[in-house]
A = this chain, B = another copy of it.
Amino acid sequence: MSEVQLKDALDALKSTGVRITPQRHAILEYMIHSTMHPTADDIYRALEKTFPNMSVATVYNNLRVFRKAGLVKELTYGDSSSRFDFVTHDHYHIICNDCGKIVDFHYPGLDEVEHLASHVTGFQVDYHRLEIYGTCQDCLGKTAKAQ
């Protein structure tokens, strides 16, 4: 399954004239196998055993290449660092305010909200961003035990 995703991603890159370097291959592979929405630094640290000389700039550069190719989505937050999500299909995220965990969940697109917003404001609407915030089960369990 993820083998196919990797192959498709590499093909998509090649077809736009982007060279497949060992670093790019490794970053992409890591992204596809990761379920935890890693930061650039997560990726950098995960790959420093196999690429001791890799620069953190390389990670950022390639994440931008992947983003422009539509392979990766960047999840931005105010304070801390961006997280990156390998694009499979559209989904929303629910985020734990205690441990920072980001979990996928699926829900039909909010077309009606987009339409109303466009109608009321006169904007031409392109997309929207929705995130749910709360506390995950692990963290709920921990606070329950601590009492």
> What residues of chain A have their CB less than 8 Å away from a CB belonging to chain B?
74, 76-79, 82, 92, 94, 96-97, 103, 105-107, 110, 113-114, 116-118, 120-137, 140
Residues of B within 8 A of A114 (CB): 132
Query: What are 13 inter-chain pairs, A to B, with CB distance below 8 A?
Result: A76-B77, A76-B79, A78-B78, A94-B121, A103-B121, A105-B117, A107-B117, A117-B132, A123-B132, A123-B137, A124-B134, A124-B135, A130-B130
* Inter-chain contact A120/B97, CB cutoff 8 Å: no
With A and B bound together, what is the CA distance between A4 and B121 in angstroms?
A: 27
Residues of B within 8 A of A79 (CB): 76
| CB within 8 Å for A122 and B105 given contacts A77-B76, A131-B129 | no
